[in-house]
Amino acid sequence: MLLTAPDCFSSSHLPFASIKNSTAAVILKRFRLSSVSQTRTSRRLCRASLITSPDSFEVGRLIGSYGFMNITSYSGLRDIEYSSGDLGRLGVQDVGEGSVKIRLYEGRIAQGPLKGTSVMFKVYPGQRTGGIEADMMAANELNAHAFLQSSSKGLCQNLVVLVGGFETKTGEQWLAFRSDGKYSAADYAKLTSEKISKNHSAGESSWNRFEKEQILKRRRYFVIKLFQGAMSGLAYMHDHDRLHQSLGPSSVILNTIVEKDAAYLVPRLRDLSFSVDISFQNLEEDPGTFSEGLWRRAAAAGAFTPMEKRAFGIADDVYEAGLLLAYLAFVTFCEANVMDSLSLQRLLESTFRLDLQATREYCLADDRLLEAVKFLDLGEGAGWELLQAMLNPDFQQRPIAEAVINHRFTAGAVL
């Protein structure tokens, strides 16, 4: 079966079965067509052409697997007194490992006009293993991609492309995405930091000073272009009334991690299983299962009307993008294991309460973090300026994604 949204696909002869409490919507059972291109007019027009037969695909090797984090509380700021409003604005959370485990496989399309196209399968477990949550996540992800790919503005190059999906006899949901790269921004940062550690172990004094400067220039350009591409994908989603809500270094796929090839770098956002529809009509109707925590935090921050909630959701995505920028600075430009995402978030949120000037002074005193500081210092502190705006404790003061793209740091003017 294929999970999709009722206003994205329709068929008069296919049996439908609704998923209770799901904003993602409908299960299409026994859907064995090789392709489908159908339309339906309701509150919006949605077109898509997806391969839905498992016979049309060939599955390759297992690439890896990963899980999701569940938000369990909002008590991340320990040893500090905050009001409920402050907690809502800061959005600090305790997290735990979720029950849904995702597997990734290589593959290719074996039939039809796209024969030979490489794909990456994202496999959600069946209900017996992952529960109803797994089906809802798969449905929500497919719904988000089908809607975004039906835009009259055409496909966004900074989002991964869904080409099809199907269900196995055991109930697993297989979503097939065009393979535009196997490394994530997290992979790039990890490999780069390990390379820095290796060079330091070999003796940095043996480096040619000019060569070191060139490496740093290439790295800075690569990281800024990576971040710019991620923000372009996010801006596209926001422009189409969709939040990402799961943005992080592992959610950005890269077609290359070779810094010399930065001119050809195209970052793409993936992992839309927690995406939220923020159209005014949806906000006035059913908020959906995956957005309950978001709207609780919105209410804590004083956002109650549909317009205020929409603004909070966009600002929440921008905040996560700010943490991504900090990660790219403090992991990519430092030795391995000097900083990780959780330690960095605690440093920013708990230790310095989102005061980026105080954070800079602290990091400046640690030689291991010096290159990260220098990177954000470009353009007379343009990186710190942008980071402070994106991580502003008051969601109403954060810039929209388009403004982040046009900032002199992201636009590359500092280079």
Alpha-carbon distance values, 220 to 27, 110, 333, 412 (Å): 46, 40, 9, 9
Tell whether the model's pLDDT for residue 146 goes beyond 60: yes
When pLDDT is averaged across residues 333-338 and rounded to a whole number, the result is 95
As beta bridge partners, residue 254 has 183
Residue 332 has a CB neighbour count (10 Å cut-off) of 24
Pick the CATH number of 183-406 from 1.20.1290.10, 1.10.510.10, 3.40.50.2300, 3.30.565.10: 1.10.510.10
Q: Give the per-residue pLDDT at 100.
A: 81
Per domain, the residue ranges of the chain are 2-71+76-178, 183-406
Structure confidence by residue, pLDDT tens digits, 272-289: 999 999 999 999 886 677
Distance between CA atoms of 52 and 45, rounded to whole angstroms? 21
Both tokens assigned to 386: 């942008």
Which residues contact residue 366 at a Cβ distance below 8 angstroms, ignoring those fewer than 6 apart? none
pLDDT (tens digit per residue) in 76-110: 333 333 333 333 333 333 334 456 889 999 999 99
Bigger pLDDT: 24 or 170? 170
Residue 72, pLDDT > 80, answer no
Mean pLDDT of 398-406: 98
Report whether pLDDT(305) > 90: yes
Domain 2-71+76-178 class in CATH: alpha beta
Lowest mean pLDDT among 77-81, 199-203, 305-309, 371-375: 77-81
Instruction: Report the interhelical angle of 356-364 vs 370-390 (nearest 10°).
Output: 180
pLDDT of residue 289: 73
CB contact set of 324 (below 8 Å; sequence gap of 6+): 185, 227, 230, 247, 248, 249, 252
Confidence tier at 382 by pLDDT (50, 70, 90) = very high
The percent of residues in the chain predicted with pLDDT above 70, rounded, is 78
What CA–CA distance (Å, rounded) separates 7 from 43? 8
